Amino acid sequence: MKRFLLFIVFAAFVSPALVSAGESGAEILKARCASCHDLKGPAPATIRQLWKRDAPDLFYAGNKFRREWLVAWLQKPVRIRPAGVNYLRTINSTPTHQEKTKKGRKYDVLWGAVLKPLKHVTLSKQDAGAVADALMDLKPHTALVAGVTLDTSKKVSLDAGEVIFDKVYGCTSCHQIEPGYGGYTGAELYTAGKRLQPAFMLSYIKRPKNWDPKIWMPNLHVSPDDLQKITNYLILLSKEDFSESN
Amino acid sequence: MNPIKFLFTVAALMFVASPAVHAEEAYLNYKTYCMQCHGMHGKGDGVNVPAMNILPRDHSDNKYMMKRTNTDIYKAIKFGGPAINKSVRMPPWGDTFTDQEITELVGHIRSLCCEKELVRGVNFK
């Protein structure tokens, strides 16, 4: 009898997991993702709201991501933002912990959990596919990418692209274009071509504020020609194999 | 409290409170947008420094900052480094802030570099 009772308790515990195998993508999003990610919008409109954000907004995922990337990443999530979603929470600026440049100048350092591998929900292949479909349905910002297309004739070599990206606009101050090469407070961009839709990149770089009104990426007034070149460069860059240096 | 006294109090409070509110907003803006490069203490020691070949200005460097006018600082923030013959590593923030917010940021930077002079009422133009 005791065993039987134990069995019942055990079954009650395990069954929600069994049921979840049949959950739809939208249900998984609501049940397992909405506690951290904003799935409804709008994006934070004040600095105070911005600082409360714990995870990237997903409410315009269908305007932003490439589906193949979502399916793969959700099964094997890795860090995308070296300083986390909010760099102000992950920096140590006490003089004893600051590091020094070659010339002896001190600077603030990343600190804590952000230096360890990302901890994130991992989905099965089937769930990842279902969730990716549900995310791709979230398209409130279609107007921002309407008529925005990549001009593949504006191709650049990796070297020429890096000159525009680094020397002309100074994007490397905040973004890495190789693991460990570049600043920390923006998302890594050596994977951007795989992760993001070209139209999103074009539109975001042109005016980040349209997507995320209070974000700490400035509008760098990139010329239309350079905008196309930078986006082609980022796509070319993400075809490189960075796994060795990882 | 009679209504006139009340009005006076409100007016006085508005007068006293608003500069403080502005100063706080300017500090929040500085913290969110500038500290990533200029550092948590504004000493040009932000977390992005290792990625930069031109180092961010140390805003607490009194000797250097005393040589800059408010107009220089305003232009650097609104249009970026090139507007004052400095590096593109200092980005333009004109699309992020209103002109009023930029003016307040200039005030905040002055408080980092030139506290004593501000108290003495120095005119930075």
Average pLDDT of chain B?
89
Spell out the long-range contacts of B38-41 with Cβ–Cβ below 8 A and sequence spacing 24 or more. Answer: B39/A93, B39/A107, B39/A108, B40/A91, B40/A93, B40/A108, B41/A93
Q: Does A76 touch chain B (CB under 8 A)?
A: no
Q: Does A101 touch chain B (CB under 8 A)?
A: yes
Binary contact (B32, A88; C-beta < 8 A): yes
Please tell me which of the candidates B29, B47, B52 has its beta carbon nearest to residue A91: B47
Mean pLDDT of A164-184: 97
Q: For A2-11, what is each residue's pLDDT tens digit?
A: 555 554 444 4
Domain map (residue ranges) of chain A: 142-246
| Whether complex ipTM tops 0.90 | no
Determine the residue of chain A that is closest to B80 in CA distance.
A220
CA distances from B70 to A115, B30, B65 (A): 39, 16, 10
Does position B54 have pLDDT exceeding 60, yes or no? yes
Sequence-distant (6+) residues with CB within 8 A of A162 are A177, A233
Mean pLDDT of A17-29: 74
Q: What share of chain A is helix, strand, coil (3-state, %, to 5)?
A: 45, 5, 50
What pLDDT does A19 receive? 46
Determine the residue of chain B that is closest to A109 in CA distance.
B47
Mean pLDDT of A167-196: 97
What pLDDT does A105 receive? 80
- Most A CBs within 10 A among B24, B36, B55, hence the mutation to make, goes to B36
What pLDDT does A166 receive? 97
Binary contact (B39, A93; C-beta < 8 A): yes
What pLDDT does A73 receive? 98
Binary contact (A106, B88; C-beta < 8 A): no
Q: Are A201 and A242 in contact (CB under 8 A)?
A: no
Helix and strand numbers, DSSP H then E, in chain A? 11, 6
Q: For B76-124, what is each residue's pLDDT tens digit?
A: 999 999 999 999 999 999 999 999 999 999 999 999 999 999 999 998 9
Mean pLDDT of A31-56: 97
Categorize the per-residue pLDDT at A246 as very low, low, confident or very high, splitting at 50, 70 and 90: very low
| Rounded distance between C-alpha atoms, residue A53 and residue A89, angstroms | 11
Tell me the CATH number for domain A142-246.
Answer: 1.10.760.10
Categorize the per-residue pLDDT at A14 as very low, low, confident or very high, splitting at 50, 70 and 90: very low
Mean pLDDT of A24-48: 97
* Tokens found for residue A25: 């993508």
Percent of chain A with pLDDT strictly greater than 70: 89
Does position B18 have pLDDT exceeding 90, yes or no? no
DSSP B53: S
Q: Alpha-carbon dihedral of residues A202, A205, A207, A213, nearest 10 degrees?
A: 120
Find residue A176's DSSP bridge partners: A182
CA distances from A123 to A71, A128, A129, A131, A203 (A): 9, 5, 9, 9, 30
What pLDDT does A199 receive? 98
Binary contact (A93, B45; C-beta < 8 A): yes
Domains of chain B, earliest start first: 21-120 (1.10.760.10)
Categorize the per-residue pLDDT at B8 as very low, low, confident or very high, splitting at 50, 70 and 90: low
Q: Which residues of B touch A209 (CB under 8 A)?
A: 95-96
Q: For A70-92, what is each residue's pLDDT tens digit?
A: 999 999 999 999 999 999 999 99
Q: Are A39 and A56 in contact (CB under 8 A)?
A: no
